[in-house]
Amino acid sequence: MTVTRPAIASPLIWSTASSLATQALSFLTFAILARLLGASAFGLVALAALVIDLLLVVSNAGINEAVVQRRTLTEEDADTAFWTNLCCGLLFCIATIAAAPLMAYLFGQPELTAIVTALATIFAITPLAAIHTARLTRDLKFRSVAMRNISAALAGAAVGLPMAFAGYGVWALVGQRIAAALAMVVTAWASLPWLPRLRFHRQSCAEMLRFGAYIGISGTLNQINIRSAEVISGALVGPVAVAFIRAGSRIVEVLNQITYMPFQQIAMPVLTRSTHDLDALKSTYLRLSRLSAFIMFPAFLGTLALAGEIVAIVFGDGWEPVADAIRIFACAVVASQMNNLIIAAITAMGQSRTVLSWTSTQIVVGVAAAVTVHGWGWQAMLITGVARGYLILPYGFHLLRKHADIHFVDVLASLRPAMASSVFMALVVILGVNACQGQLPPMAIVTIWLPAGAVFYFATYFWQDRTIIGQLRDMITARRARSATAG
């Protein structure tokens, strides 16, 4: 039987371009703010951003994902999704402003009230572009999505950096976030000049909420799960610990955005197009697994090996504990890659309730473990989070086999070359870095061992598996052929 596989190359290229540009700009602003504010003040901003980020996931009620996943989308469905999303955003904006003093009290930081109140406006801004972006994603128009993300990052940097240098401190980050949100609205409407009509279909809303509610709640729980150490540290330890965790997680987020987010953005819509054919679904899933591991694993384990030098270069003196956070987060790379693709596949199959139950299990285990060990410090909380990610994997693969007929041994085979090559590379780089410490400055060590590690990785990978070259070549050829046809 011929397996028809949806195109990956074009959306992947544009998704990657978007991640590279947006992460470079946003991380530059982040690093400058960290140096200017110091750990204590920066931790305060991180607490406010944490509250907004957690609530932002649930505020759209999973409607964006419902629009992407829906087999048939009418204009009336899209109009209904837009107005439902906007109403939810406005409600969350009002509720967050009202609850800002309580949040400040719970964290023991009175300054949070004004910061959370200002950032709450993002809840009202984001829905204006959400359904436009969902429709672009649904149609795999990632070039337009990329332009939107890049424009937003430019707008955020254009506002945040001047404010930081002008001495506005914490408000530079607030300005950056709001400017980026506004720019996303403008560029999304420019990319898709669709004007929602003032109409509402109750049945359509109920169907999307029925699917999306599970995704929205599970997304929030997943964020709590990922950032539980920050939440608990903010409440029980203090803003300095939050600053160290946030700085370390921000480095890892950059890696994730550059190496895996392009795959995550296309995974669910691409897999959704294969749900009618399990052979095609399996083939697409394993291609995504192999390619994402090929790029993701060496990036994370290489960063682990160079963590101390990276912190010294990016953050400077006083931020040394951030290296511990980076090393711990990087150890979660294999579990993170597997978990995220499993969620994408199960969601594509329409099993949003299953995603919620799985995420709920993770959050209960993760938070309970973090609270139990918080007395040993924030590092212990991060370690328990990494361990939880690996311990929950067997259940995830059970769900993957049940709903998509994809087996663990096949997934492991797709990951093995990248895993083995990355571990070997990391060991070589760690030995080299230890030999150079005290004799060379951090920048020189990174300049030497970053390319050396890349050479070791590619050499050992291609020794094990040369088929990846053909797979990449086929993707590029297919992309050129489609471009020529379109032209």
Lowest mean per-residue pLDDT among 105-109, 172-176, 370-374: 370-374
Q: What percent of the chain has pLDDT over 90?
A: 21
Q: What is the pLDDT of residue 3?
A: 46
Q: Which one of 190-194, 266-270, 325-329 scores highest in mean pLDDT?
A: 325-329
Q: What is the pLDDT of residue 75?
A: 85
Q: What is the pLDDT of residue 219?
A: 67
Q: Which one of 226-235, 389-398, 466-475, 478-487 scores highest in mean pLDDT?
A: 389-398
Does residue 273 contact residue 19 with C-beta atoms inside 8 Å? no
The residue among 268 and 186 whose pLDDT is bigger is 186
Q: What is the pLDDT of residue 98?
A: 94
pLDDT band, residue 478 (cuts 50/70/90): low
The arithmetic mean of pLDDT across residues 132-151, rounded, is 74
Q: Which residues contact 32 (CB under 8 A, 6 or more apart)?
A: 161, 164, 165
Other CB atoms within 10 Å distance of the CB of residue 375: 10
The arithmetic mean of pLDDT across residues 213-225, rounded, is 67
pLDDT at 424 over 80: yes
The residue among 152 and 409 whose pLDDT is bigger is 409
Lowest mean per-residue pLDDT among 163-177, 257-271, 390-404: 257-271
pLDDT at 434 over 90: yes
For residue range 89-99, list pLDDT tens digits in order. 999 999 999 99
For residue range 301-320, list pLDDT tens digits in order. 999 999 999 999 988 888 88
Q: What is the pLDDT of residue 423?
A: 95
Q: What is the pLDDT of residue 246?
A: 80
pLDDT at 171 over 60: yes
Average pLDDT, the chain: 80
Q: What is the pLDDT of residue 447?
A: 94
What does the alpha-carbon distance between residue 235 and residue 369 come to, in Å, rounded to a whole number?
16
For residue range 436-461, list pLDDT tens digits in order. 988 899 999 999 999 999 999 999 99
The residue among 460 and 241 whose pLDDT is bigger is 460
Q: What is the pLDDT of residue 2?
A: 44
The arithmetic mean of pLDDT across residues 232-236, rounded, is 60
Q: What is the pLDDT of residue 412?
A: 92
The arithmetic mean of pLDDT across residues 157-179, rounded, is 84
For residue range 261-278, list pLDDT tens digits in order. 767 666 777 777 777 778
pLDDT band, residue 4 (cuts 50/70/90): very low
pLDDT band, residue 101 (cuts 50/70/90): very high
Q: What is the pLDDT of residue 275?
A: 72
Cα 361 from chain centroid (whole Å): 20
pLDDT at 69 over 80: no
- pTM exceeds 0.75: no
